[in-house]
Amino acid sequence: MNLSWKTGLSFGLTSGVITTLGLMVGLHSGTHSRAIVVGGIVTIAVADAMSDALGIHVSEESKNSGPERHVWEATLATFAAKFVVAMTFVGPVLMRPLDQAVVISVIWGLLLLAVLSYFIARAQAISPWKVIGEHLLIALCVVAITHALGDWVQKVIKAE
């Protein structure tokens, strides 16, 4: 796999997991509404995937170091990975009670990150456990912070 595809897929997968989990956990703790959580996921899948793809596109263009084809490969790979990964979180929310769906989604997201981290570590010939641990710790921080923010927003709105 060439570098432009690796860049787009790894960025899109990571961003898809972190952003979608953060949004889901925050919306769930703030609203407890299945419709709002699904709406948020679908919105993230489209809008944030396009935003990240444009961000990668501009970043790759600014390097001015390769053919235009590589810029577009990274752009398309980022969009596809972010969109597909984000949309995988819709299934559990539609098929399970919302509380369970959020737990299932967190586990699914952490599994995706762990697998990606493992392959990144192997490619760099370093210990996978350090890389996996670092990436999962960051993801769990995002989950904890967005959960707390959702609770806070719910309290602020109820106080009005």
DSSP codes, the chain: --HHHHHHHHHHHHHHHHHHHHHHHHHHHHH--HHHHHHHHHHIIIIIHHHHHHHHHHHHHHHT-S-HHHHHHHHHHHHHHHHHHHHHTHHHHHHS-HHHHHHHHHHHHHHHHHHHHHHHHHHHTS-HHHHHHHHHHHHHHHHHHHHHHHHHHHHHHHH-
Domain ranges in the chain? 3-159
Encode the chain (160 residues) as per-residue pLDDT tens digits. 688 888 889 999 999 999 999 999 999 999 999 999 999 999 999 999 999 999 999 998 898 877 888 889 999 999 999 999 999 999 999 999 999 999 999 999 999 999 999 999 999 999 999 999 999 999 999 999 999 999 999 999 888 7
pTM above 0.75, yes or no: yes
